[in-house]
Amino acid sequence: MTRLEDRLRRDLQAEAEHVTPLSVPRLRLEKSTRFRPAPSRITRRRRRRLAVRWAAGAAAALTAAAVALPTLVLTGPPAVTAAYVVKRADSALSAAGPGKIAQMTTASSGGVTAATTTEEWSYGDQWRAVTYSLTGHPRSDEGSSTASFYTAVSYRTQTWAHEPGSAAAPVPDSRGCERVAATLPLLLQPGLPGTGFSASSLPETVATELRSAISCGALIIAVGRQRVDGIEAIKLTSRQDSPIPETIWVSADTYLPVRVVARSADKPGAPWETADINWLPPTAQNLAKLTVPIPAGFRQVPAGLYCAKPRYVC
Amino acid sequence: MPVWRSAAVTGHGRDGEAGELDAAQEVAALYEAHALALIRLAYITLGDQQTAEDVVQDAFSGLYRAWHRLPDRANLLGYLRVSVVNGCRTAHRRARRKPAALAEPDGASAESVVLAGEERRATVAALKRLPPRQREAIVLRYYAGLPEQEIARVMGVTRGTVKSTTARGMATLGRILREES
C-alpha cells in the first residue's frame, strides 16, 4: 500500500465524519402509485374526451391570443438617462409594493451557502419564502402575515413552528448601501443577516429589496434593449466603481425590475446570484401562494427550540 | 358490490395495502441501517451535505417505488449504492450548469475548515478537482473499501475500466498534491 493510498483512506474517513449520525434526516417515503388499479374503461374514455376538449380549447385560445396581441417591436437604444430609469423604477416599485404580489425566484452559487434556489413572494405585510436544494427538493418554507405572524417548516427535520405575535415594521436601514453591499453576492436572498428582519419584525418586501438594489448600484444604461422572458426590458448595469456589481433589467413598459444579476466581485467566476421577478395581480389563486402549507405528518416544535438564530430554518 | 367485497375479490385493497406497509417497513429498516454510510459516501463524492442527503433520500424513495418490481432483494445495499452513485452523477451534471456550485465550500464547512488539518483539506480539495468518474472510482475504492468487481457493478463498467480509471485518478491526485505542497 502506497503512502498516497494510506493518506486517502485516512483523510476521506475523517472528512466523512463531518456527517454525524445525529444529522441524518428522517426518511420521507412518498405515497406509492404502485397499488393503484389500472383506470377503468369508462375512466379512460372520460380522460380521452377531456384531452380532446382541452386541446380544442387551447387551440381556440391560442388563435384568439394571436389576434388580440399587438405586435411587439424592439426599439433601438433608449433615449432616456439612467437616472430617469432609476427614478421611474423606484416610483414603480413604491406603487407595486402594496398593489401587486411580487414573486421572485433567486438562484445563487458560491458565497456563504451552497448553490440554492429560493422562491419568494410578498404582498403588503404578507411574505413567504421557500428554499430548494440543488436537487430541487424543498429545504424550508417560511412565511409571515399579520394573521399568523411567523410560520416555518423544515423539510429536513420534518418539523414546523409557529410564532404568533404582532408584526412590527422592518428594522430601519441604518447603514444604507454599505449594508446592501455586505450581503453580496446574495443581494436578494431572504433571511440573510443585514436584511433588517428579526423574529419580532417583518422581513423586507421584495419591492424594498429591489429598491435598495437599484438605488445602490450606481447604474448606467447598457446599449440596446433586451427581451427577458418575453418582456422588452431596459438593461442597466453598474459602473466599475460601484460597490455592487450588478445588472438589472427593468420593463420598458412598467419600469418594474424583471431580472437582477448580482456578483460578489466584478470578475469572471465570482459567486453570483440571479433573481427573476414576476408581478402578479392579487387574485385568490395568487394570494394562496403566500400561505405556508404544513405537510401532513410533520411535527410541531416550539418556536424557541426551532432555530438557534431567529428566522433561520435549521 | 360493497367496496370491501370488491377489494377482496379483485385482490387489491387490503393485500395491496399490507404489501405497501411491508415495503415501507423494510425500506425504513434499511434506511436506519445504511443511511449514514450512504450519505457519507455521497458527501465525499459531492462535497455538499444537503445534496448528499437528497441523493440518498431519492435512492430510498426509488427503492420503495420499485420494491415489487425488484427481481432480487438479496443485494439491496448494492442497489442503493448504484442509485446513490447515479444520483451523484446527476447532481454533478446539474452543478456544471450552475458554475462553481459544488466547487465552493458550503456554509456548514466554514467551521470544519478551521478545525480540519491542512493535509486533509488538501486531499479533499484535490479529490474535487478530479473528473467525476475518477472521483467515483477512488471514493468507492478508498473510502467505501469496495472490491474492484463491486465497483465495476456500481459504476456500470468493466473491471478493467475500474482499474484504469482508478490508476489515472490516483496519478492525477498525486500530481495535484505534489504541486500543492
Domains with residue ranges and CATH for chain A: 82-306 (2.50.20.10)
The H-or-E segment that residue B15 falls in is helix B14-46
SS (H, E, C) A118-174: EEEEEECCEEEEEEECCCCCEEEEEEECCCCCEEEEECCCCEEEEECCCCCCCCCCC
Question: A299-300 and A159-163 as β-strands: parallel, antiparallel, unpaired?
Answer: parallel
Nearest to B141 by CA among B121, B117, B167, B123: B167
- In this model, does residue A169 exceed pLDDT 80? no
Residue B102 and residue B141 in one domain: no
- Which residues 91-110 of B are in CB contact (within 8 Å) with A? 91, 94-95, 98-104, 106-110
Residue B46 and residue B76 in one domain: yes
**Residue-averaged pLDDT of chain A:** 69
Residue B172 and residue B121 in one domain: yes
Residue B45 and residue B94 in one domain: yes
**Where does a domain end: B93, B115, B137?**
B115
* pLDDT per position as a tens digit, A49-84: 555 455 555 445 444 433 333 322 333 343 457 778
**Where does a domain end: B100, B115, B130?**
B115
Q: Does the reported pTM lie above 0.95?
A: no
* pLDDT per position as a tens digit, A249-306: 888 888 899 988 887 765 555 667 788 888 898 889 998 998 889 999 988 887 655 4
User: Is B108 a domain residue?
Assistant: yes
Domain count, chain B: 2
Least confident of A22-36, A120-134, A150-164, B62-76: A22-36
| Edge-to-edge strand ranges of the sheet holding A126-132 | A219-228, A231-238, A246-251, A257-263, A272-280, A101-109, A116-123, A126-132, A138-144, A150-154, A159-163, A299-300
Is there a contact between A19 and B39 if contact means CB atoms under 8 Å apart?
Answer: yes
* Residues A216-229, mean pLDDT to the nearest whole number: 72
Q: Does A38 touch chain B (CB under 8 A)?
A: no
Residue B110 and residue B151 in one domain: no
| Rounded-to-integer distance, Cα A139 and Cα A131, Å | 5
> Which amino acid is present at B124?
V
Q: How far apart are the first and last CA of chain A?
A: 42
Predicted pLDDT at B85: 92
**Where does a domain end: B115, B138, B161?**
B115
User: Is B1 a domain residue?
Assistant: no
User: Is B85 a domain residue?
Assistant: yes
* Residues B90-113, mean pLDDT to the nearest whole number: 48
Q: At A249, is the secondary structure helix, strand, or coil?
A: strand
Predicted pLDDT at B8: 28
Residue B91 and residue B40 in one domain: yes
Residue B106 and residue B20 in one domain: yes
Predicted pLDDT at B40: 92
pLDDT band at B151 (very low <50, low <70, confident <90, very high): very high
Is there a contact between A9 and B138 if contact means CB atoms under 8 Å apart?
Answer: no
Is there a contact between A156 and B48 if contact means CB atoms under 8 Å apart?
Answer: no
Q: Determine how many CB atoms are found less than 10 A away from the CB of residue B158.
A: 11
User: Is B4 a domain residue?
Assistant: no
User: Is B137 a domain residue?
Assistant: yes
Residue B85 belongs to what domain range?
Answer: 14-115
Residue B24 and residue B111 in one domain: yes
| Rounded-to-integer distance, Cα B93 and Cα A305, Å | 37
Question: A246-251 and A126-132 as β-strands: parallel, antiparallel, unpaired?
Answer: unpaired
Q: Does A16 touch chain B (CB under 8 A)?
A: yes
- CB-count burial class (<10 Å; 0-12, 13-18, 19+) for A22: exposed
User: Is B9 a domain residue?
Assistant: no
Is there a contact between B40 and A30 if contact means CB atoms under 8 Å apart?
Answer: no
Closest partner residue to A110 among B41, B53, B104, by Cβ? B104
Answer with the residue of higher pLDDT: A246 or A306.
A246
Closest CA of chain A from B97, distance in Å? 11
| Torsion angle (degrees, nearest 10) of CA A238, A244, A247, A253 | -80
User: Is B2 a domain residue?
Assistant: no
**Residue-averaged pLDDT of chain B:** 76
Predicted pLDDT at B169: 93
Predicted pLDDT at A94: 82
pLDDT band at A203 (very low <50, low <70, confident <90, very high): low
CB A275 within 8 A of CB A105: yes
Is there a contact between A19 and B43 if contact means CB atoms under 8 Å apart?
Answer: yes
At residue B8, what are phi and psi to the nearest 5 degrees? Answer: -65, -40
Answer with the residue of higher pLDDT: A99 or A33.
A99
CATH number at B25 reads 1.10.1740
Residue B152 and residue B174 in one domain: yes
C-alpha cell at A240: 466599475
User: Is B30 a domain residue?
Assistant: yes
Answer with the residue of higher pLDDT: B104 or B33.
B33
CATH number at B142 reads 1.10.10.10
Answer with the residue of higher pLDDT: B16 or A149.
A149
Residue B61 and residue B150 in one domain: no
Residue B41 and residue B98 in one domain: yes
CB A143 within 8 A of CB A137: no
* Residues A110-131, mean pLDDT to the nearest whole number: 75
pLDDT band at A190 (very low <50, low <70, confident <90, very high): low
| Rounded-to-integer distance, Cα B40 and Cα B53, Å | 9
Residue B29 and residue B99 in one domain: yes
